[in-house]
Every structure is written in structure tokens, then in C-alpha cells.
Structure 1
Amino acid sequence: MRREMVHPDSRLRRMIPALSLRSGALITAFLLSTSAGAQLLQTPAQTLAQSTLKGLTADGSVLRRGATTVTLDISGGYVVGVLTETDSLDDLARGVGAGWGLDETNLPKLKGNLSNPQLLTAARAGFVDTTDDSGTDLIALKVTGEGSGTRYAAYVAVNIWPDSAFPVTKAVTGSAAAPVTLRVFSDFQCPYCKQMWDKAMPAWRRDSATYRVMHYEFPLSFHRNAQGAAEASECAAAQGKFWPFADQLFANFSVWTPLDPKDAPAKYAAYAKAAGLDTAAFKTCVGQRTFKASVDAQVQAGLKVNVQGTPTVYLNGLKLSNYSDAREVARARAITTAQPSAASVIEARLKAFR
């Protein structure tokens, strides 16, 4: 599954993107030179087998050595968070490294980052932040005590966005009782979005008892007709016809996407008629750019949840790296629908760091 990106992404793992201090200043991001593996969302056995955890004694999902405790938070059969509590920066790096899937060679640099005086000072107040540009996981740090009594706590976990992080949209299909909510950020001029619409979307829409699909506008700036198409689709949504109009846009993708933006509205009107809209009201809506502010707000909301390109799909708040990977989808569904859910397990942990 490919995605059109907002901007080039180095994919470097960040220690923390921008750490706010009580003074309001910002600490520059700490970078690891090697991208971390996707260790979170593995089975407990896979996590426990990592070389970074050697020397710790396992008792179920808890590992111990001296004053160090590493606890695996498990939901739906997968590790969704790793909590490390210790008096040793070496062991703190091992616990964080286990959550990130780092090998032994990365631990010295990670320890050096964790030892940064500014970072440790800020961690006295505790903080929670995303760990990379994609926003797929979190890190929380807390330092307590002084001198030989200093204790460190770190928690790395998958990032599950709450419903409140997403804007309201009229472009919704599927049962409100469906166990899976898919939130899709899309661009009508994006070829990969068309691919998703043609291949994955029909199955999601047919299985309305399982999938509730919510569409969000995310027109990319280098697609000259994307903004206009997005606004037109919002005009269709205002008449309760988003989905048939969107079907028309993607079915006629090769017709309207090459046009000069001034010529595209005539095509939108034709597609609106085919979709059963009140075309007079639709033309007025498009001509007045009634929903420009709404489209712009959806883009800003997408940036806040780390949308980097289109299409981007969130399953029950969990950002998918590949919506067409059945194993990833099954894993995401398992942790988000488990009792207790991954989101509730993680949030309970994070309260100690805020």
C-alpha cells in the first residue's frame, strides 16, 4: 500500500519531538541515527525474547533485576506498552529499547539521550509525547528522588487517538454499533486514494455491521483540483449524498483531475446530477465555496493526529501503516476491542506521568 506524502520524511526515530518546560521553552529533538523496529504490538513471547532484556528474570509479563522492574502491558494478546521503573539509566535504556525494538548496539546512544540534563530536569514534572513524526507511538518519562535515591520511570506505548481528536463529519456510512470505526483522510486527486476506493472501500461499505467508515478531507497542495473537489464533496455531504458523489469523482478520476481548476466545477455539477443531488443548490454551494473553512479545518485536524499523506486510515483510533494488510488490521482490531481495551490500559498508565 502506497501513500502520497505531504512532505519528504527522513523516518528518523526521535527521542521526543519538542519537550515543553514549565518556563515555556522548547528542548530540541533528540534523534537516534537508526530507525527502531516495530516491537510494540508483538506477542509477549516475542518481546521477552529480545536481547535487550537479557539478565532480567521474567515472571509472567513482569521482568525484574535488583531495583529494576519492566512490565509489559498486554491487550488482545499483544504488547501495547512497556513500563520501566529503575534506579539505573542503563536499565532505563534497556526497557525503552525493548519497547522500540532496538538492538544492543543502539543502547549506548539511547542511554546518552536519556542522560541529557535538560531532559532529566524536564522529566521531574513528567511528560508524555509522541516519539516520531508518524505519531504511531508514545513515550512518557518521570524522574523522582535525589542523589542515590533517584528513580526513573519510562513508558513506551502505541498511540491510540481518542474520538475527540477527530472532527465531526457528515461523510459517514455503516452502523453506529459497528465494532470497527475506520477514519479515512483522503484526497480525491490522489491515485492511491482511488486505489483504496476501488479495492478496499467497497468491502468496508458492504459490511456495514462490522465497519463504520468516516471520511475526512485532506487535499494535498500539489494537486491543483483536490481542494475544489473536497469542497464539492462537502456540498454533496450537506445534501446527504457524499458517498454517491464521491463514487462519481473517483469513477471519473481521469476526466476531471487534468483540468484547469476553473473548468472542473462544470464536471462536478454533472457528477452531482448523476448522484441525485439538487444541482442548483450544489452549484451555489460550490460557487460560494461554502465549505472551504470546513475543508481547511479537517486538514488542520489531520495534521494534529500526524497525517503525513493520503490515504491515511485509523482503526478505532490506531493509525494503520497498511490498511490492506489483513494481519495488521486483525491485530489493531484485537487490541482496540479487547476488554480492557489498549486505550484504557495505556491511559491508566499515563496518568502517573502527567
Structure 2
Amino acid sequence: MHAPVLTRFLPLTITLALSAPAGAQLLQTPAQTAAQPILKSLTVDGTALRLGATTISLDVTGGYVVGVLTETDSLDELARGVATGWGMGAPDLPKLKASLSNPQLLAAARSGFVQPSDDSGTDVIALKVTGEGSATRYAAYVAVNIWPDRAFPATKAVTGSAAAPVTLRVFSDFQCPYCKQLWDTAMPAWRKDSATYRVMHYEFPLSFHRNAQGAAEASECAAAQGKFWPFADQLFANFRTWTPLDPKETPAKYAGYAKAAGLDTGAFKTCVSQRTFRASVDAQMQAGLKVNVQGTPTVYLNGLKLSNYGDAREVARARAVTTAQPSASSVIEARLKTFR
């Protein structure tokens, strides 16, 4: 679970009217994907399914489907292909076809259309239209959205080996009870297994948590002294003590936690009082919005946004596709280049 942001971030400039959540079918096995009822009339040929002039190709890495490419001369079949990636049923197809038939969308697809498919940013859709009249061809690609390293800001709150195969990027709010839950459950194992997990923490203080901004800035002051993790441990260990306070009362508490964490308290107090890292915290939050953070905690595994960081099966799938050779990101990017 997570605490939601108050405002809804919409990445789409052209919104698709969908009747089912995106990403419901991706990251399944090829057999599971091909077994969907809407595909029963197609012939399976390895990782491709065919019917007349329509080919639906499954991109597979690490044993799981990371993208579905549809090439066809029919908007009906285009809708079927997109629905395959999104795990939608036959009743959803007419509405999806109507959405894909949007003249504005089709016009944009003439030069290539690539965007996150919804405001959660968990997957991406690409469209391309070529030819005219009876020679018109449609292509659609639905894939998991894997954010590159450059999409995330720099942070001093890092632990684990730089050579670790798994990088976990955590957007968190110190006043969020769900973030404390993560800190108390999953985080200890991640930090202990430093050869496997490299953990990066990012500030995402929610506006309705009145002490979250101050705590975030204080943690950045601790990070400047190389003490982010012991200070953050203190914040979460004393969660029930400082979170109910008036914001004017919290700096004294933070100073006590800084002392317990081994910081230079004089330098720390100056840093907090001068709000030295206010701009840094704001920048991290803005970066989070750009990668579709909608609440806290939000966790990305090697750039892939997890819906449930505590689900071992989801984590295993994410690790499998992002560490496979070739990786999901390279396979997907190669496809997307043909749409741009």
C-alpha cells in the first residue's frame, strides 16, 4: 500500500479511453499470453500469432513477455493486439477500437506516437500508421515501461555495491506510515544483502504530511555528512514521537536523532535551520513526478516500477527481465526506435 499524492499527474497529451487497467497481461509467460480467449482464432507460430494480414509478436526476455507488437491492416485487429498486451477481454474491444480510431491519435501516429499508456506510467504504447486507403497499415506496440538511469536524480542516500545486479530506487516520505512499513520489513533485507541490492533513496514529502518536508530536508543534511541511513533509522524508529508534533517543535527532535546517529550536531543544526537542502528535496520530488510517482513508497527495480515491492513473484519477474541478456530495456528500446 502507499499514500497517494493529492494531484493526479497525467502524462498523456492524447488520452485513450480505456475500460481496463493497463499492464494487466504483460510480464506473463508466452504461454499465458497466447492462451487469452481473444486470441483463439489466431495461429501460434513460436512467439508470434497470425491471422491473415495480422501478426502479433511477443517480445520475451527472462522467460516473460515484456512487449506485444501488432502489425495489421485492420483497426479491429489493432485493438485485439493492444488488448493482448493489456489483458482485456472481448467486451472491451469495441471501446478500445473507438479510442484507437481517434482522428487526432491516428494523425499523430503518422509521424510516430510513443507515450506512457496511463498516468501510472507502468507501461508504454507506441503507434504508427503508414500508407493510404486500402494500403493503410497499422502498427502498435505495448510494453512495460523501464526508466533509464538518467531519468532519476543524483542522491547521496545510497547503500550497497555499485556492482549489485539489482538497483532499487525508493521514493519515500518519512511521515508516511506505509514508508515506515517498508523500512521495517523489506529494507533490512535489502541493506543486509549489499552484494545483490544497491538501494537509492529519494525524497518525496507529501503536502498533507506537515512534518514530511522538514524531515526530508533534515535527512539530506545527514546525507551531506555521510550519515543518511543511521539518521533515517532514527526517524522511523521514533516515528510516533515526532510525526504528531507542531513543525516548530521538530528541529529539536531531529537534533537529538542526529546526535544518536553520530553526526556533527552543530553543523547539522545550521543546515536544518538554513534549509540548505530545500531546493534539493523539491527537485527530487519533481523528478519523481516525471517518472510517474503517484504516492509513497514507490519502488523501481532496475528502472521498472513495482506495483507491490513485497510480492516475491513480482520482484522475481522484474529481476529476470531486467537482468536477462538481452535485457528488456534493450529489446523494448529497439522496437520503440521504429516508431519514433
Counterpart check, 1:50 vs 2:8: no
Counterpart check, 1:208 vs 2:207: no
1:36 Cα deviation after fit:
4.7
Q: Quick one: which amino acid aligns to residue 143 of structure 1?
A: V
* Normalised TM-score (structure 1): 0.94
C-alpha distance in 2, partners of 1:173/1:34? 38
Mark the runs of 5 or more structure 1 residues left unpaired by the alignment.
20-28
Q: 1:118 aligns to what?
A: 104
Q: Quick one: which amino acid aligns to residue 221 of structure 1?
A: S
11, 18, 21: which one aligns with 2:13: 18
Q: 1:4 aligns to what?
A: 3
Counterpart check, 1:167 vs 2:162: no
1:17 Cα deviation after fit:
2.1
Q: 1:182 aligns to what?
A: 168
C-alpha distance in 2, partners of 1:7/1:69? 42
Q: 1:22 aligns to what?
A: none
Pairs aligned (count)? 340
Instruction: Encode CA deviations 1:17-73: one digit per residue, 9 max, x unaligned.
Output: 214xxxxxxxxx231234356100000001001122122111100111111111000
Name the SS of the counterpart of 1:353 in structure 2. coil
1:182–1:316 contact (8 Å) kept in structure 2: yes
C-alpha distance in 1, partners of 2:89/2:266? 62
C-alpha distance in 2, partners of 1:270/1:54? 65
C-alpha distance in 2, partners of 1:244/1:197? 12
Map 1:137-152 → 2, pairs under 5 A: 137-152=123-138
1:143 Cα deviation after fit:
0.2
271, 284, 289: which one aligns with 1:303: 289
Q: 1:26 aligns to what?
A: none
Q: Quick one: which amino acid aligns to residue 76 of structure 1?
A: G
Name the SS of the counterpart of 1:183 in structure 2. strand
Counterpart check, 1:196 vs 2:207: no
Name the SS of the counterpart of 2:91 in structure 1. helix
C-alpha distance in 1, partners of 2:278/2:34? 50
1:37–1:102 contact (8 Å) kept in structure 2: no
Q: 2:24 aligns to what?
A: 38
* Normalised TM-score (structure 2): 0.98
Q: Quick one: which amino acid aligns to residue 234 of structure 1?
A: E
Task: State the percentage of identical aligned residues.
Answer: 81
271, 277, 281: which one aligns with 2:263: 277
Instruction: Encode CA deviations 1:307-338: one digit per residue, 9 max, x unaligned.
Output: 00000000000000000100000000000000
Q: 1:313 aligns to what?
A: 299
Name the SS of the counterpart of 2:213 in structure 1. helix
C-alpha distance in 2, partners of 1:78/1:155? 16
Q: Quick one: which amino acid aligns to residue 5 of structure 1?
A: P
Instruction: Encode CA deviations 1:277-304: one digit per residue, 9 max, x unaligned.
Output: 0000000100000000000000000000
Map 1:221-236 → 2, pairs under 5 A: 221-236=207-222
C-alpha distance in 2, partners of 1:197/1:35? 29
- After the TM superposition, which parts of structure 1 deviate over 4 Å for at least 4 consecutive aligned residues? none
Counterpart check, 1:220 vs 2:206: yes
C-alpha distance in 2, partners of 1:336/1:82? 17
C-alpha distance in 2, partners of 1:36/1:122? 21
Instruction: Encode CA deviations 1:61-98: one digit per residue, 9 max, x unaligned.
Output: 01111111110000000000000001111110110000
C-alpha distance in 1, partners of 2:7/2:283? 23
C-alpha distance in 1, partners of 2:136/2:128? 11
Name the SS of the counterpart of 1:200 in structure 2. helix
Q: 1:158 aligns to what?
A: 144
1:226 Cα deviation after fit:
0.3
Q: 2:51 aligns to what?
A: 65
Counterpart check, 1:343 vs 2:329: yes
2:203–2:216 contact (8 Å) kept in structure 1: yes
1:8 Cα deviation after fit:
7.5
C-alpha distance in 2, partners of 1:46/1:116? 30
Mark the runs of 5 or more structure 2 residues left unpaired by the alignment.
none
1:115 Cα deviation after fit:
1.2
2:167–2:198 contact (8 Å) kept in structure 1: yes
2:23–2:85 contact (8 Å) kept in structure 1: no
Q: 1:186 to 1:37 in 2, by over 3 A?
A: closer
